[in-house]
Amino acid sequence: MKFKAFLTEHGVNLLERRFLPALDKMGKICHLFLTRDHAIFLHNLLNGDGVQCIAQFRKEALFDDYRISSQNEDRIAFAIDVSLLLRAVRSSVSICTEFGNGPSANRLQIKLVKKLPLNCTQPMPFLTFETKGYKSAVIQDVPISKPLSRAQVLELQTALELAQDIPQTLVQVPDSNQLQNFVERMKQVGDLLNVSISKYGDLHVQISTTLITLGAEFRKLLVIGEQAEAPSDDRNQSAQTRSERAISRGDAQRVQVSVKHFSRSFHCHLAKPDCTFYGIAPHGSCLTVIFQFFIPGTHQTDKSISLHCRLPVLDPGSS
């Protein structure tokens, strides 16, 4: 199997300043899945433990002169330490900035190699970054796992396809800082968070203990997908009553998630998304957070980039 490409300046900026810092906060190890058309970073898709996070890029968003080949339909996947990857990218960018000049300036090549480390008898796989300056080249090797087998790649591909299911109703939270501040305060109260989302555009979060109940409601949010008109007699009801009635009518779903998991999803804002949407998957299987990115200078979705999280539910939920 072979992989070689040049990171573009735009690709370096996306990885170094936005996505790798976010992914590093989500977890130490992730899978990097390379195909003919995409590069995909995957957290927790195979073990199913904790928050799943998926960042997908079309090859043109990151790379130039992208070449990949393998006996597994040109698909290559391996595990990698995100912090080491981020360090290598930052170091390479620093070298490019300091020493790069001439026609090959800022050309950062990335490729898969096998090398024999010191005191080892077997060659090991690495993701290598090569920074070519005017008179010299600097090489940095990031250790990776043994590339996944055909069966493991198929398992990863299947998990990825399952994780692409979009909830039937999504609500946009315009001020994620307000929601984040509230959830951070909730962490001091308890461990379990009840989240309900209605077709009316209401997001309700609540935490309860034997001593105290805290909740927050975000109303009349932008709805994408299935939506409904809120009954007029709900206006004078409490937030909890409105939520219960919407669930009983089949106009809302509710799930219970870990407060820590919900809080961790906010790390994805380091990737600087333009919009954030929340939704509950069919049958309450997970809480999904989708981050939308615009083409710079427009309000058009950048379809070359996608990022979303799936939070495991601790209760089957009600629908």
High-pLDDT (> 70) share of the chain, %: 93
Q: How many CB atoms lie within 10 A of CB 182?
A: 15
pLDDT above 80: residue 97? no
Backbone angles phi, psi at 105, to 5 degrees: -60, 140
pLDDT at 302 over 50: yes
- Average pLDDT of span 282-286: 90
**Least-confidence region, from 101-115, 124-138, 222-236:** 101-115
Summarize the confidence of residues 238-245 as an average pLDDT.
87
The CATH architecture of the domain made up of 2-163 is Box (3.70)
Which residues, including other chains, have CB under 8 Å from residue 8's CB and lie 6 or more apart?
62, 63, 64
Largest CA distance in the chain: 75
Which fold would CATH assign to domain 169-315? DNA Polymerase III; Chain A, domain 2 (3.10.150)
**How sure is the predictor about 105, in pLDDT bands with cuts at 50, 70 and 90?**
low
CA atoms within 13 A on the CB side of 15: 29
- pTM for the full predicted model: 0.91
What secondary structure, in 3-state letters, does 142-158 show?
A: EEECCCCCHHHHHHHHH
Q: What is the structure's pLDDT at 319? A: 47
Give residue limits of the domains in the chain: 2-163, 169-315
**pLDDT average, residue stretch 160-186:** 91
Report the C-alpha dihedral over residues 62, 15, 49, 263, rounded to 10 degrees.
-130
Count of C-beta atoms within a 10 Å radius of residue 188? 9
Give per-residue pLDDT as tens, 128-162.
Answer: 999 876 566 788 899 999 999 999 999 999 999 98
Task: Please list, residue by residue across 30-42, b when 16 or more beta carbons sit within 10 angstroms of its beta carbon and e when fewer do.
Answer: bbbbbbeebbbbb
Strand partners, 218: 203
